[in-house]
Structure 1
Amino acid sequence: MTTHHTLPTSCTKLCHVIEVERPDADDKESPRVGEVDLVIEKNRFGPTACVTVAAQLHYSRFVDMSQT
């Protein structure tokens, strides 16, 4: 995943910005149904990254993929 967004100037004072991406939201035939990418766009105190987690939307939560 190589999507990088320019944050608005109002976000410059934020410590953390996390984008939630659901590949299956637009493509119902996606092989990644039930997966969510948490893209850490800004982390003032550490690195940026992309973490894939499992979506348990009926509980309104995300869990580590190894727990599913």
Structure 2
Amino acid sequence: MILLTKLDQQKILINLETVKYIESVPDTIIFFTNGESMMVQESMEAISQAVVEYQAAVFRQSTQTTPPAP
């Protein structure tokens, strides 16, 4: 999930699995798989960077070795 800001300054977490696509016209609009859409303050580039950082964090967590239980 990534943290974004709606136009009314409200912070929201977006579940990336529900995003169909994003447009910048010039405002950034996120379109969801359920047909809804939402305008956010962040640019498409900022969202793209947040997605990359989130995916990298998930990958790092998945590759960390956990010591065996005693």
TM-score (norm: length of structure 2): 0.32
Structure exhibiting the larger radius of gyration computed from Cα positions: 2
Q: Quick check: which one's helix share is greater?
A: 2
TM-score (norm: length of structure 1): 0.33
